[in-house]
Structure 1
Amino acid sequence: MDNARRTAVKVLNEILQKGAFSNIVLGKELNRSNLNDKDRALATEIVYGTLKYKYTIDTMLNYFIKSDLEKMDIDILNILRISFYQMVYLDKIPEFAIVNEAVELAKRNSIKGSRLVNGVLRNYLRNKDVDYAKNIKSNMEVLSFKYSFPKWMVKLFINQYGSECSERILGGLNMVPGITVRVNNLKIDYEEAWKQLEQNGYDIEEGKICPEAIVITKGRNIEDNPLFVDGLITVQDESAMMVAPSMDLQEEITVLDLCSAPGGKTCHIAEIMNNTGEVFAFDIHASKLPLIKENAKRLGINNVNYDVLDATRYEMKYKEKADRVLIDVPCSGLGIIRKKPEIKWNKNTNDTKELVEIQRKIMVNASKYVKPGGKLIYSTCTLNKDENEENIKWFIKNHSEFDMESLYFGEAENIIYHKEGCMTILPDKYMDGFFIAKMVKRR
């Protein structure tokens, strides 16, 4: 018989030991389980909550366990982690039930392990008032403990944004993301989509910035929504929704999207172009192209060509072919931690340095595909300035045929408009952290 906590431990083992993606491995485990809806929701809550607060939980565990946590049996360690998450951050589960469930789960591993779990959890319950942060001195360590982020990441944000803005970023990245959908104007207008969503029992509100955005605050699974099934709406974060409108798209032009999968921005581009002209959707992985095609088919899009392309390698046949080239480059993903909290634990500073080299190769190649008078749009879902502003400064310095063009979507408290013309979107309840820059090629 499956159990929500057993499932959560199994999923966490895959993520933290093998680098699996939370959404993929959790989805697989839930689909093969016999959990009811309530237990599926609990397993999901425990997995994402434990990942979100792992640094703080481990700091607390270190108070009660003097040995190196990383040398512990991974099952026992993750049983303790999920138990601490439930006791510290959830108030809907009785503490005695959390302890009993944890001990029973640990018994499947070993009697010795179950005794350790029982001892640690009961010790915690007797010592709830411990000040775990009393020996923390620096502001960086205070923020690491408070928001549960690795020290290197907090240090990066403080160095790049300052302490006050960094705390806002950390808080935003810990917020629980809602579901935002984009109305497909090829099939339905905004008012009609709004009306039908309400008729289908969804609680909704307008998006913050984009005129096509609707935020779903309550309602059944979006994939069961008839508007989604019929391609009248599609799920897309509002930050990502800002990319296509920033491209100054027109009908009958040619657009290359070099890093297209899963195709949200590709489809938005095609919608704005009213199914005219040509959109080329590329990805380095052939296995991802069917997902882009599936999305486009559902949305009624038929002006997209699909092909495999390594964006880091120049393809002569696309030289000066496009009026617009979009490069939504591979990045560290530091802006989407609210959706993928494992990014906190599976990235490091070396990863970001390697990514900068890849991003610059893609920029150089992409620039050659832009027609004179055409535009190159660069976007990431990270907040690391080395991958964002610094890359743009480097590119403009070394490619004098390009000029920056300013972006503006109106005033919003979470948008930073840089003097160079690019923009950073800070994460909050509604939007992921994001970066967009637009450059025009001289005629």
Structure 2
Amino acid sequence: MELIHRNLLIGIHDALQETFFEKNKYADKVIERLLKAHRKWGSQDRAVVSEIFYNIIRWKKRLEYYMGEGVKPNNIYKLILTYLLWSETHYKKFDEFEGIKIANTLNKLKKGTLPTKAIEHSIPEWLAETLEKELGNQWEKEMTALNKQAPTVLRVNTLKTTKENLIEELEDSDIESSPIRGYIDAVELTEKRNVFLTEAFKKGMFEVQDASSQLIGQLLDVKEGMRVVDACAGAGGKTLHLAALMQNKGQIIALDIFEWKLAELKRRAKRAGAHNIETRFINDNKVIKRLYNSADRLLIDAPCSGLGVLKRNPDSKWKIDQDFIDRIIKEQQNILQDYSKIIKKGGQLVYATCSILPSENTLQTQNFINNNPEYEIIREENIMPSQGYDGFYMALIKRKG
């Protein structure tokens, strides 16, 4: 195969450098900006750039082993070349590239064996230890799944359309999709496409939301006319799902500590036709205390390590460490303890994370129940990445009447 066009290579190089070496720069936003800046690139070129960009991030540790050195700002081209050689795509046989001698890399590629499990699965050594400690022998199966590309799943906005109508509408835009068995409102694309340019998106007929994530709103069991609080709403993916499940009847109060996320939620709610959402910025503890004993349902989609969604956010494994996980566990404990008082007696809450670590999940909710006997766990689910979609934990907890 021919080497990819030089301007695409430069784009990948700059995007990787920004992701790896600039603070608070995340892969999804970096690639989005890159593609917006090069609107003249064809759909095939855009797909190639995205695939190579994400795969290099995903397999960074293994590629560093093949290179014989860690990734530095001045060797991003070598990192790209190593990936192209390893994946045997988009390159032609040569002895030197950008002044880089490739014989040593080729020798390592031919050997096939890798010295550690962390290198094999391309994760930091500390993370391999944590996963093995918490998941036992299952951790390698889950990391194998997490190193695959995530499918594109849409949630049908039932305030605007039906699953059948959405599939037809997407077909009019030459986008093939199909329903997912066992998921009420989920539609999966046959291949990755930019759905945000479609008329269906502009009309608010769907949101991009993983199939596992869609189960959280359903577990909360909201009803029309209820008062529901989404305590960590963010930009509102699950808030909008709750609005659809309630058919715009009742009240949803969406809370977050970031005003810009709530502004994005308002914009999305307008497009989706979700009219029963009120946003509130958490600028002090009084915002939470004013809501005590007032809600029929509460969603706590807690901050977490994000280890269940590495398929779509592979860069996060390079941006977190064990200290971060220890801090987030304490934050989860505080949020669950404080926010759980929002529901009335007899009300229900769902505690959810996009993590696969028991320390953030089952151990958290069990610890909460042990310290708060007026609450009880009704149901809990561990959805693992090896099941096909994102890894999530969710527990339905009732405040006793």
Q: Shorter-chain TM-score category?
A: over 0.9
Shift, 1:127, TM fit: 6.2
Amino acid at match of 1:88: W
Amino acid at match of 2:92: P
Measured in 1, the distance between the counterparts of 2:52 and 2:320 equals 22
Confirm or deny: 8 A CA contact 1:184 1:231 kept in the other structure. Answer: yes
Partner deviation per Cα, 1:115-160 (whole Å, 9 max, x = no partner) = xx2x2x2443466423552xx3xxxx2x322221222222222222
Partner deviation per Cα, 1:330-357 (whole Å, 9 max, x = no partner) = 1110011111111121111110000011
- What corresponds to 1:124 in structure 2? 105
The normalised TM-score by structure 2 is 0.92
- What corresponds to 1:147 in structure 2? 121
Measured in 1, the distance between the counterparts of 2:333 and 2:192 equals 42
Measured in 2, the distance between the counterparts of 1:195 and 1:261 equals 31
Structure 1 376/274 Cα, relative in aligned 2: closer, same or farther at 3 Å?
A: same
- What corresponds to 2:9 in structure 1? 5
- What corresponds to 2:26 in structure 1? 21
Correspondence for 2:381 among 423, 426, 429: 423
Shift, 1:254, TM fit: 0.3
Amino acid at match of 2:125: K
Amino acid at match of 2:20: L
Identity of aligned residues (%): 27
Correspondence for 1:205 among 178, 181, 190: 178
Amino acid at match of 2:19: I
Measured in 2, the distance between the counterparts of 1:393 and 1:201 equals 48
Residues 190-269 of structure 1 mapped to structure 2, 5 A cutoff? 190-218=163-191, 220-269=193-242
Shift, 1:380, TM fit: 0.6
Give the secondary structure class of the aligned counterpart of 2:89: coil
Residues 284-303 of structure 1 mapped to structure 2, 5 A cutoff? 284-303=257-276
Instruction: Please state if 1:55 is matched with 2:53.
Output: no
Measured in 1, the distance between the counterparts of 2:286 and 2:80 equals 44
Confirm or deny: 8 A CA contact 1:311 1:362 kept in the other structure. Answer: no
Give 5+ residue unaligned stretches, structure 1.
Answer: 104-113, 407-421
Instruction: Please state if 1:344 is matched with 2:350.
Output: no
Structure 1 212/131 Cα, relative in aligned 2: closer, same or farther at 3 Å?
A: closer
Instruction: Please state if 1:280 is matched with 2:253.
Output: yes
Instruction: Indicate the RMSD between aligned Cα atoms, in angstroms.
Output: 2.2
Residues 39-54 of structure 1 mapped to structure 2, 5 A cutoff? 39-54=45-60
Amino acid at match of 1:187: K
Measured in 1, the distance between the counterparts of 2:104 and 2:365 equals 53
Shift, 1:308, TM fit: 0.5
Partner deviation per Cα, 1:369-412 (whole Å, 9 max, x = no partner) = 11000011111111121111111111001111100102xxxxxx
Residues 323-334 of structure 1 mapped to structure 2, 5 A cutoff? 323-334=296-307
Structure 1 264/285 Cα, relative in aligned 2: closer, same or farther at 3 Å?
A: same
Confirm or deny: 8 A CA contact 2:163 2:179 kept in the other structure. Answer: no
Confirm or deny: 8 A CA contact 1:201 1:219 kept in the other structure. Answer: no
Measured in 1, the distance between the counterparts of 2:369 and 2:91 equals 55
Amino acid at match of 1:214: V
Give the secondary structure class of the aligned counterpart of 1:379: strand
Confirm or deny: 8 A CA contact 1:4 1:35 kept in the other structure. Answer: no
Confirm or deny: 8 A CA contact 2:349 2:396 kept in the other structure. Answer: yes
Confirm or deny: 8 A CA contact 1:83 1:99 kept in the other structure. Answer: no
Partner deviation per Cα, 1:97-121 (whole Å, 9 max, x = no partner) = x954xx0xxxxxxxxxx3xx2x2x2
Confirm or deny: 8 A CA contact 2:66 2:109 kept in the other structure. Answer: no
Measured in 2, the distance between the counterparts of 1:43 and 1:218 equals 16
- What corresponds to 2:393 in structure 1? 435
Measured in 2, the distance between the counterparts of 1:321 and 1:219 equals 43
Give the secondary structure class of the aligned counterpart of 1:3: helix
Judge which range, 39-48 or 29-38, deviates more: 29-38
Shift, 1:429, TM fit: 7.7
Confirm or deny: 8 A CA contact 2:296 2:343 kept in the other structure. Answer: yes
Instruction: Please state if 1:366 is matched with 2:339.
Output: yes
Amino acid at match of 1:40: R
Measured in 1, the distance between the counterparts of 2:249 and 2:107 equals 68
- What corresponds to 1:177 in structure 2? 150
Confirm or deny: 8 A CA contact 2:134 2:359 kept in the other structure. Answer: no
Confirm or deny: 8 A CA contact 1:325 1:370 kept in the other structure. Answer: yes
Confirm or deny: 8 A CA contact 1:335 1:434 kept in the other structure. Answer: yes
- What corresponds to 1:162 in structure 2? 136
Shift, 1:200, TM fit: 3.2
Shift, 1:283, TM fit: 1.2
Measured in 1, the distance between the counterparts of 2:108 and 2:142 equals 32
The normalised TM-score by structure 1 is 0.84
Structure 1 186/238 Cα, relative in aligned 2: closer, same or farther at 3 Å?
A: same
- What corresponds to 1:86 in structure 2? 84
Amino acid at match of 1:355: I
Structure 1 219/404 Cα, relative in aligned 2: closer, same or farther at 3 Å?
A: closer
Give 5+ residue unaligned stretches, structure 2.
Answer: none
Confirm or deny: 8 A CA contact 2:355 2:393 kept in the other structure. Answer: yes
Partner deviation per Cα, 1:43-72 (whole Å, 9 max, x = no partner) = 32222111111111111222xx5xxx36xx
Confirm or deny: 8 A CA contact 1:9 1:75 kept in the other structure. Answer: no
Amino acid at match of 1:252: G
Give the secondary structure class of the aligned counterpart of 1:243: helix
